[in-house]
Amino acid sequence: MSTAEKPIQELIREHRASLPTPYYLIDEPRLLENLKKIRYVRERSGAKSVLALKCFSTWAVFDLMRQYMDGTTSSSLYEARLGYEKFGKEVHAYCVAFSDEDVRAVRPFASKVIFNSVSQLKRYAPSLKGLPLGLRVNPGVSHSDFDLADPARRYSRLGATARAEIEEAAPLISGAMFHCNCENDDFKKFGEILDHIGRGHEPLLRRLEWVSFGGGIYFTKEGYPLDAFCDRLSEFSRRFGVQVYLEPGETAVTRSGFFVTKVLDIVRNEIDIAIVDGAVEPHMLDLLIYRTDAKIEIPQRGGHTYMVAGRTCLAGDVFGTYTFPEKLEVGSLVPFADAAGYSMVKKNWFNGVQMPAIVVRRLDGRVEKVKEFTYEDYLLNLS
């Protein structure tokens, strides 16, 4: 078995001496599985995919990702610049609200500039002549299991909603973004949203050159009807004469990232609690925000159940409760799965806890530590 084929658990054990915990591990062989599906969608449907940097911006693997994707999409000036400098190809510059300085600075980086409101579109369009401009449109429907992430929630500020106002501004744009999915792995529901967009905005769509359906469409999930998905995308593209874009974030990196920790102590308070050298708030913040447990790839069998908790002073610093096949001890390694999307981009210095290193297993099996953080990084992050 080559190094590139070794199971993650075995790989982590083999490198425990050379890779001090905690660290994030990006597995390029697993990442490649997602990227191949993304390329298949482009080849079969014509839909292009741009990486959502708000979800994943670890540029150490961009050399691989750019071979399968068409560029990046951003939510800020800095993300647009990162996409331009480290990924290349198309740079879709979007922001919920640009400042005057942002617009001036983003122009050299952007392939397209997408505005969140008609007011910002009208304000900045004159200074961006020559660049394709787009408008985010809120279609009034969405798919999200969390109100916090629902772009069509009541009073949402995400996207233009007034049909008359949108139609009036249509001559200023060549494209539109309908970002209204969040963790949508239901093809039927995606189709219903697509139909709603087509019916509700047909006059607008027929005058556009491109349309983005944003991210949150989990089409790389095992068993997803990929061919039917491609057919719907290509049909929409033909019907309205538009280039379709997708903005995969988690969809691009799902199952390819791990957060590797080590047990520092085991305490008992009615139950056994394993305290690891990572923490939820600084290292996997979305777990805290959405009140979910960390995923873990271990056989859920055996009689050794532990609550696994972090080392910060936050009482709720808990990754979850798991049943391990073997008894945990001080020094045992605990890798959390699916830790690439929205974890690495949100890491912070809460409690001054050591920032995890970033490690990549390359396609050829090499295990490379691409970034290590020190006290100086913590110091310079402050003032």
Per-residue pLDDT of the chain (383 residues; tens, 9 = 90+): 566 678 999 999 999 999 999 999 999 999 999 999 999 999 999 999 999 999 999 999 999 999 999 999 999 999 999 999 999 999 999 999 999 999 999 999 999 999 999 999 999 999 999 999 999 999 999 999 899 989 999 999 999 999 999 999 999 999 999 999 998 999 999 999 999 999 999 999 999 999 999 999 999 999 999 999 999 999 999 999 999 999 999 999 999 999 999 999 999 999 999 999 999 999 999 999 999 999 998 876 678 999 999 999 999 999 999 999 999 999 999 999 999 999 999 999 999 999 999 999 999 999 999 999 999 999 999 99
Burial class of residue 33 in the structure, from the number of CB atoms within 10 Å of its CB (0-12 exposed, 13-18 middle, 19+ buried): middle
Distance of alpha carbon 175 from alpha carbon 114, whole angstroms: 8
Sign of the torsion angle spanned by Cα atoms 233, 237, 239, 240: positive
Domains contained in the chain, CATH given: 3-22+257-339+354-380 (2.40.37.10), 29-252 (3.20.20.10)
Q: Are 11 and 3 in contact (CB under 8 A)?
A: yes
Distance of alpha carbon 340 from alpha carbon 362, whole angstroms: 15
Single pTM value for the model: 0.95
Cα 291 from chain centroid?
18
Strands (E) across 122-256 are located at: 133-136, 175-177, 210-212, 243-246
Q: Residue 10 — φ and ψ, nearest 5°?
A: -65, -40
Distance of alpha carbon 364 from alpha carbon 376, whole angstroms: 33
